[in-house]
């Protein structure tokens, strides 16, 4: 085999490695985007449930679902992002704020009082959810600008 053939083969292999590498990055980006979309859907769902809980009749079933989502479900998805090397440190503290907005006051209590949509408790839920949602997007953009 002449040196020109060797160079040709090396170029073919290098090209294949490059394309394969870029393909892997694209696939990983798509996978993480998909996880993030699921998180955003979950956040939307929790927001709706939380407002329903606080503006309607007190419901222990809804309270249970909210605790499940704000603990297990969100944490599981955060853990997956962390395993995929996405920096989600700031998301944890905003998750706490969201959990507090939903479950610190007027929650699991015998003195439950239905809120109006313009009450601070409801506005705080919306704001806390927006901040968490934006932070997730930021984490994604920081990793894949």
Partner 1 sequence: MNATTENIPTTIIDIGKDFSRYPAGRYETDGPFNGELFRAKFLVPVLNNNKQITIELDGTAGYGSSFLEEAFGGLVRLGYSSRQIKTAITLHSEDPSLLEEIEEYILDAEQG
Q: Which is nearer to partner 1, 27 or 79 (CB)?
A: 79
DSSP letters, 66-99, are HHHIIIIIHHHHHHHHHHTT---HHHHHHHHHHH
User: To 10 degrees, what angle do helices 89-103 and 74-83 make?
Assistant: 180
Q: Which of the residues 21 through 60 are near partner 1 (CB under 8 A)? A: 60
Q: Which is nearer to partner 1, 53 or 140 (CB)?
A: 53
Q: Which of the residues 97 through 136 are near partner 1 (CB under 8 A)? A: 99-100, 102-105, 107-111
Binding window for partner 1 (CB under 8 A); candidates: 11-19, 39-47, 65-73, 129-137: 65-73
Q: Which is nearer to partner 1, 63 or 81 (CB)?
A: 63
Q: Which is nearer to partner 1, 28 or 42 (CB)?
A: 42
70 makes contact with partner 1 (CB under 8 A): yes
Interface with partner 1 by CB under 8 A: which residues? 60, 63-64, 67-72, 75, 79, 92-93, 95-96, 99-100, 102-105, 107-111
């Amino acid at each position: 085999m002449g040196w020109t053939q060797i160079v040709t083969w090396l170029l073919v292999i290098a090209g294949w490695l490059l394309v394969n590498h870029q393909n892997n990055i694209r696939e990983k980006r798509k996978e993480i985007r998909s996880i993030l979309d699921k998180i955003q859907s979950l956040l939307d769902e929790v927001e709706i449930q939380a407002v329903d809980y606080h503006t309607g009749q007190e419901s222990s079933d809804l309270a249970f679902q909210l605790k499940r989502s704000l603990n297990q479900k969100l944490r599981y998805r955060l853990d997956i992002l962390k395993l995929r090397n996405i920096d989600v440190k700031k998301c944890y503290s905003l998750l706490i704020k969201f959990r507090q907005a939903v479950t610190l006051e007027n929650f699991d209590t015998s003195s439950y009082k239905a809120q109006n949509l313009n009450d601070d408790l409801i506005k705080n839920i919306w704001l806390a959810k927006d901040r968490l949602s934006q932070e997730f997007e930021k984490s994604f953009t920081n990793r894949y600008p």
